[in-house]
Amino acid sequence: MVQDEPNGEIIAASDRSGEQKANVFQRIVIFIREVFAELRKVITPTRQELIKYTIVVIGFVGVMMAIVYGLDILFSWMTNVVFGAPPTP
């Protein structure tokens, strides 16, 4: 187990001497505290950044859709050529 120390150092749990293992409820409380500590580090994007990221994602998805569509058409054509199936309407 790795524990974040208040001054930013990371130490392994085995490096701590003389500490007792916490019970289940204490571990749950520690987990919740660590979750809130991590959430405080989160930086929400500005509206302009959010719009930019959205456009990038939509553009990427569009390009990937075009690639998959092109491969589908290519493999359909190759299957028809190899197996001699009549073209689909």
Q: Residue 14: what pLDDT?
A: 55
What's the pLDDT score for residue 13? Answer: 57
Q: pLDDT tens digit string along 2-53? A: 555 556 556 555 555 556 777 899 999 999 999 999 999 999 999 999 999 9
- Look up residue 54 and give its two tokens: 């959205």
pLDDT digits (tens, 9 = 90+) for 2-15: 555 556 556 555 55
Q: Say if residues 4 and 10 touch (Cβ distance below 8 Å).
A: yes
Say how many Å lie between the first and final Cα of the chain, rounded.
Answer: 61
Q: Which residue has the tokens 């309407």?
A: 89
Spatial separation of the C-alpha atoms in residues 41 and 8, rounded to whole Å? 13
| pLDDT exceeds cutoff 90 at 86 | no
Query: Is-above-0.85 flag for pTM?
Result: no
- DSSP-based three-state secondary structure for 52: helix
